[in-house]
Structure 1
Amino acid sequence: MSNRAKPIGRRRDGRPIYPIKGAAPTLTEQRDEIVRLLQDDSYEGDLDELMKRADDIAAKIEQATQRDSRLRALRAAALPAGDPDPQPQHRRTEPGQQPDDQGREHPVSAAEAFIRSKALEHFRTNGKIGKFSVEYRDAPTGTVTTTNGVPTVPQRQPGQIPQNPDFPLLIANLLDRQTSSGNTLEYVRDTSGPVAGSGTWNKSAVVAEGAMKPQSGPFSWDTITTSLKTVAHWVPITRQAADDDGQMTGYINGRLQYGLEYKLDREILTGNGTTQMQGILTTPGIGAYQPPVGSTDVKLITLRKAKTQGELALYPPDAVVLNPLDWQDIELDTDLNGQFRVITNVTEGQAALRIWGLTVVTSVAMAQGTALLGGYRTGATLWERQGITILMTDSHADFFLANTLVILAERRANVAVHTPRAFVKVTFAAATT
């Protein structure tokens, strides 16, 4: 019998193809050999071993088939236009192009919204402006129905908004903030005063079966109808500056947006409620605390006693607004041994902006010698019709001839002080010499 190996196939011309001597058999060769042995009725080898080899080679062939399928599918796949950067850390960081701190692609400031707008792109491309505007809303989205004098109850989140390390905490950020669907604002204001004797409206009690249930109260309400107020201002800017993203960002963030935020804070505190927004300090029914005549309580102690008054009114305070000079007095207050009562980190330049568990906001909008302590998120809501809107035009006076543009920023908002008793106006005792 010839020892020559059997051919594994034939060429097109019919000549046989023999396996390479010493080469490992291919999967096809192994499969064919096992098939031949399984079909051989006279096979006298270990049948269990043969079946195991059959299962093993079938699994290897299936794996090879799947690999080939995946390879063909991958080669056929086409990337869409604008294939995303496989290394997101290489995103552009020039002004107006940053995602926000959660990676979302919408602008993170009014300036960036304006710079990324199609209107500004059209102006830079065509050199024609006329007038255009871009709105940036940092207030909650959506609409709220305010019918029958009773607005929809907003969802309030517990806790305080953390202070941004780059910007001072604003008074507006202490309030519940909601979006109004129209220019007219109607809401109900709780004008119930303290009840004689118990000092509370809550008459809930354990009631025996069949006994009369108690009625809480008395309650009294006023329906307040007002309108949202517009806060606005503008600055001139050259066409050359308008073509520069960095300068545009500086104008909008450094001047326009800052000015609106400053005025909004002042209105929240002291607005007259008619031609201006409703200020908390000018709202009837807020609480008041002043040390008794002859008291030597320092401001630190006065705030603690005012906090107790708020708690007794069943509206626990969560924040206090102070004039910077009053906060300075609290930080520099020392005991008889010359030790600071408030722990101050002189390296950082100030103590943590918290006192007696309250968030502290300092603002020159608050008059020296007074403070406003309260449950801000439960006592008032800042309603906003729109966010900050930025407008730019060359249609002002002779600015067109002077190659100068106008950038205007505005917002529409008002404050609903629906629970005045949630606030306590604090008047500090006069300093003694």
Structure 2
Amino acid sequence: MSNFAKIRPIGRRRDGRPIYPIKGGAPTLLEQRDEIVKHLQDPDYKGDPAELLARADKVAADIDAANQRDARLRALQAAQLPAGDPAPDTRVQPGMQPDANGNEHPLTVAEAFIRSEALATFRARGKRGQFSVDGMDFRAAPAGTVTTGTQPQQNTRVPGIIPQNPDFPLLIAGLLDRQVSDGTTLEYMRDTSGPQSTWNAAAVVAEGGDKPKSGPFTFDLISTSLKTVAHWVPITRQAADDNSQLMGYINGRLTYGLEYKLDREILTGNGTTQMQGILTTSGIGAYQPPSGNTDSKLITIRKAKTQGELALYPPDALVLNPIDWQDIELDTDANGQFRVITSVTDSGAPMRIWGLTVVTSVAMTAGTALLGGYRMGATLWERQGVTILMTDSHADYFTANTLVILAERRANVAVHTPAAFVKITFAALP
């Protein structure tokens, strides 16, 4: 009986004959080689000599091929470009670059638009029709085509205040807690109880004594809708083929325009046809120097901060008109030294005063400011981030080789704790 009679074949050759593994099931080329050598040296070997020789030839060829691959690999790894030889062209289209470490970075709205399959398809069909690309956040927006759902949307009811890790904001919107809405109607509870100091009756109680009751607590159920902010610009077909120009239009004009308007809505929106503005919400605090008091703006802000702290809603940020921030930064002592900044060359330093983050905006009326615990007092709810649409179906633009790029977003502000904010009115200068 053959030595391979009780061994199961692992395959078959082209002529149908079975292929048996080397005795012991050795998987490597070297182990197969050693086993075949052992059989060749065995004078009592009972197997098929022709088959053994064929296997010996194949294993020898496989080992030789492996040695050649290893030699080629080592030679390739050691190869270098000669001095002066131009480096390979690694340029990529704008919007396709990785970050400084070579990793994919979060996409801006413009980069998401440039990379989208929807734009590639739109260009491939001769820039006809309409398409859109949606991103949840202009700072980190995923690419994807917007579709319209057919099922009715559920209202978003806010269960309470959802905290969020703080970060340094670039705009007023960055001061707020930001959440995503699942529907187009927003319902939330607004705390109208006033400063915590007016209802907090907690006290040390003697054994057997009656416990004090805190309150009264009052809440209003606020129901509102998310508002759409949008605008568009024309762009030629030739410019639409240029990724750099497209990114410039989207980032420099469309996206910034939406953020610019959003800042104003957060402060002064009327709450009906517009978003709910903090300044137009009843129940926010107010501080103004007493009549005849000529406190500087620097001192006024510090006293208003105390008022916010006494209400037990510690403020974390301050929004000022640029003119008022200019007055504060240029405030000098009797020796002509700046009170707020020590060096005018440090213009890139974060703007802070009395421990508060400062954001300047022309949406804030000169002579006033808004101090508050922004993340504690309000939430920006967004149904969608910035959505970019492009089409040739507008007026006579098709015959003029002109396209339209439209940007829009849906959002609203839930001012659930008005007492967390203090509106400041500065004393008039003599």
TM interval, short-chain normalised: 0.7 to 0.9
Matched positions, count: 340
Distance 1:385 1:101 in 2: 32
- Residue 132 of structure 1 corresponds to 131
Task: Please report how far the alpha carbon of residue 217 of structure 1 lies from its aligned counterpart in structure 2 after TM superposition.
Answer: 1.2
Task: Please report how far the alpha carbon of residue 92 of structure 1 lies from its aligned counterpart in structure 2 after TM superposition.
Answer: 5.9
Partners of 2:387 and 2:409 within 8 A in 1: yes
- Residue 152 of structure 1 corresponds to 159
One-letter code aligned to 1:388: V
Please, which of 258, 261, 268 is the counterpart of residue 270 of structure 1? 268
- Residue 226 of structure 1 corresponds to 224
Distance 1:384 1:191 in 2: 24
Unpaired segments of 5 or more residues in structure 1?
1-27, 33-67, 77-89, 164-168
- Residue 119 of structure 1 corresponds to 118
Q: Is the partner of 1:303 in helix, strand or coil?
A: helix
One-letter code aligned to 1:151: V
Distance 2:283 2:101 in 1: 42
Q: Is the partner of 1:326 in helix, strand or coil?
A: helix
Calculate percent identity across the aligned residue pairs: 73
TM-score normalised per structure 2: 0.73
Please, which of 162, 165, 183 is the counterpart of residue 168 of structure 2? 162
Task: Please report how far the alpha carbon of residue 194 of structure 1 lies from its aligned counterpart in structure 2 after TM superposition.
Answer: 4.5
Distance 1:260 1:101 in 2: 29
- Residue 97 of structure 1 corresponds to 96
Task: Please report how far the alpha carbon of residue 97 of structure 1 lies from its aligned counterpart in structure 2 after TM superposition.
Answer: 1.1
Query: In structure 2, do the counterparts of structure 1 residues 351 and 370 end up closer, same or farther at CA, with 3 Å as the change threshold?
Result: farther
CA RMSD after TM alignment: 2.9
Query: In structure 2, do the counterparts of structure 1 residues 281 and 104 end up closer, same or farther at CA, with 3 Å as the change threshold?
Result: farther
- Residue 46 of structure 1 corresponds to none
One-letter code aligned to 2:159: T
Partners of 1:344 and 1:352 within 8 A in 2: no
Distance 1:255 1:311 in 2: 40
Distance 1:154 1:102 in 2: 37
- Residue 334 of structure 2 corresponds to 336
Distance 1:101 1:185 in 2: 40
Deviations 1:125-144 (A, max 9, x none): 22142000000111899xx9
Query: In structure 2, do the counterparts of structure 1 residues 101 and 203 end up closer, same or farther at CA, with 3 Å as the change threshold?
Result: farther
Distance 1:200 1:93 in 2: 62
Distance 1:246 1:285 in 2: 47
- Residue 171 of structure 1 corresponds to 172
Unpaired segments of 5 or more residues in structure 2?
1-33, 39-61, 71-88, 142-152
One-letter code aligned to 1:134: V
Task: Please report how far the alpha carbon of residue 91 of structure 1 lies from its aligned counterpart in structure 2 after TM superposition.
Answer: 7.7
Distance 1:308 1:407 in 2: 48
Partners of 1:345 and 1:351 within 8 A in 2: no
Task: Please report how far the alpha carbon of residue 162 of structure 1 lies from its aligned counterpart in structure 2 after TM superposition.
Answer: 2.4
Deviations 1:390-420 (A, max 9, x none): 0000000000000000000000000000000
Partners of 1:232 and 1:260 within 8 A in 2: yes
Partners of 1:271 and 1:277 within 8 A in 2: yes
Query: In structure 2, do the counterparts of structure 1 residues 424 and 154 end up closer, same or farther at CA, with 3 Å as the change threshold?
Result: closer
Distance 1:295 1:338 in 2: 23
Partners of 1:189 and 1:419 within 8 A in 2: yes
Task: Please report how far the alpha carbon of residue 351 of structure 1 lies from its aligned counterpart in structure 2 after TM superposition.
Answer: 6.2
Query: In structure 2, do the counterparts of structure 1 residues 295 and 348 end up closer, same or farther at CA, with 3 Å as the change threshold?
Result: same
Task: Please report how far the alpha carbon of residue 425 of structure 1 lies from its aligned counterpart in structure 2 after TM superposition.
Answer: 0.3
- Residue 300 of structure 1 corresponds to 298
Task: Please report how far the alpha carbon of residue 319 of structure 1 lies from its aligned counterpart in structure 2 after TM superposition.
Answer: 0.2
- Residue 216 of structure 1 corresponds to 214
Partners of 1:384 and 1:412 within 8 A in 2: yes
- Residue 422 of structure 1 corresponds to 420
Please, which of 401, 413, 420 is the counterpart of residue 411 of structure 2? 413
